[in-house]
Amino acid sequence: MDKIRIRGGRPLHGEIAISGAKNAALPLMAASLLSDETLTLSNLPHLVDITTLANLLVQHGAEIRMNGAAGNGGHTGRVLELRARDIVSTRAPYDLVRKMRASVLVLGPLVARAGRAEVSLPGGCAIGTRPVDLHIKGLNLLGAEVELREGYIHARAPRGLVGAEVVFPAVSVGATENLMMAATLARGETRLVNAAREPEVTDLAHCLVKMGARIKGIGTDTLTIHGVERLHGAEHGVIPDRIEAGTYAMAAAITGGEVELLGARLEHMRAVAELLGEAGVSVRESERGIHVTRTGGPVRGVDVMTEPFPGFPTDLQAQFMALMALADGAAMITETIFENRFMHVPELCRMGANINVHGASAMVRGRPALTGAEVMATDLRASVSLVVAGLAARGETIINRVYHLDRGYEGLEAKLAACGADIERIQ
């Protein structure tokens, strides 16, 4: 199995082109099931998760054509044409859903378009129990009959969905996306209250509007959707990946380097930029994206709590922890979104970090240096935090289970190596 070897201690210098956002691309692809016309998505990242969802969509009846890699806002990215002329199967089987939880995003579109869906329950995952009750309750409110049987969500709305008010008791990105998609084809008006405001949700809303959906309140926590008879084809470019950009910002900071993140958007990353600023890292808008610099002494320890957007994202918590492991001072990092997202802590400690976890908080006491070690992690962001740590650690770090990284970081080694990192993939 592939591994990544890093010899740490080289400051990153250069430019990194930020890919299209995985977590925007996945719901956008699922949205293709809402129309019998072609949805053309550009700036798609080349990632295993994208292929997994493409395979699921094909078995629902979508025809998918890859149209080369074309530019979008100066970036290369794949262009996919997705056309679900007919829904030939409403079943999302366990063997595909278990590979990727985001597969549950086909639930809303299938029920809205075909009046039924049988989607495998995703089950647990490395970062917590992650139920889908909010997706199910929401669909129920839109008039679907939903039953859980034999590990599957069976949803039926033979006479179509009907608009309703859905008040989310907690913010959920996936439930907001699923219900927003479902509501576009429901009869009447749907209000989603306490909806997620993540840029990926907003990107999906913009694409749905291009497809003919009527959505108000985009970018706020209340989305009002007037159902329409049908949606049509559209073309849409996926937003840049703010989590990828944030990860490379932390990598530049931890190595005392200077990078320009091409295409990255500061308006998607204000909380991250502010926090890095407090830690002594300069993050500013540049003509082509975001410019990140840390020169001089170590970063300062600063506390952070993960929150729904516009707060600091849970998907950057592990990478920030790696950075704080080398800070001058201590940092209290509190995870409020997922109950079990500290899997990287023992591995960072094996590299010499001083971190103690108490419930949902991790107390990181900065050390002057980390040392390379053989490490592995159980999810994407935990894995990449070990890469971030390895870039600054003394000696050699070997990261196992590279397939996690391939789910979410396009060309990771190539992008870092081009900025001077000593990193390679080995067998």
Q: Catalytic residues, which ones?
A: 125
# residues near ligand EPZ by CB under 6 A: 24
* Per-residue 3-state assignment (H helix, E strand, C coil) for 264-318: CCHHHCHHHHHHHHHCCCEEEEECCEEEEECCCCCCECCCEEECCCCCECHHHHH
Phi, psi (degrees; rounded to nearest 5) at 130: 45, 70
26 makes contact with ligand EPZ (CB under 6 A): yes
Q: Which region among 166-174, 287-295, 348-356, 382-390 touches ligand EPZ (by CB under 6 A)?
A: 166-174
Subset of 113-132 contacting ligand EPZ (CB under 6 A): 128, 130-132
| Out of 28, 175, 266, 316, the residue judged to bind ligand EPZ by CB under 6 A | 175
- Token pair 């704080």 is found at 324
Among 39, 94, 96, residue whose Cα is nearest residue 63: 39
| Out of 268, 344, 381, 401, the residue judged to bind ligand EPZ by CB under 6 A | 381
Subset of 191-230 contacting ligand EPZ (CB under 6 A): 200
Site string for ligand EPZ, 385-414 (x = CB under 6 A): -----------------------x------
98 makes contact with ligand EPZ (CB under 6 A): no
Contacts of residue 32, Cβ cutoff 8 Å, sequence gap at least 6:
39, 57, 62, 82, 83, 84
Identify the DSSP state of 102: G
35 makes contact with ligand EPZ (CB under 6 A): no
Closer Cβ to ligand EPZ, 218 or 380, answer by number = 380
User: Measured from the CB of residue 138, what is the shortest distance to ligand EPZ in angstroms?
Assistant: 8
Identify the DSSP state of 11: P
User: Measured from the CB of residue 35, what is the shortest distance to ligand EPZ in angstroms?
Assistant: 21
Sheet of 63-72, strand order: 63-72, 75-83, 39-44, 234-237
338 makes contact with ligand EPZ (CB under 6 A): yes
383 makes contact with ligand EPZ (CB under 6 A): no
Contact of 47 with 17, CB cutoff 8 Å: no
Distances (CA, A) of 82 to 28, 61, 155, 378: 10, 10, 24, 32
Applying CB under 6 A, which residues contact ligand EPZ?
23, 26, 101-102, 128, 130-135, 170, 172-175, 200, 314-315, 337-338, 380-381, 408
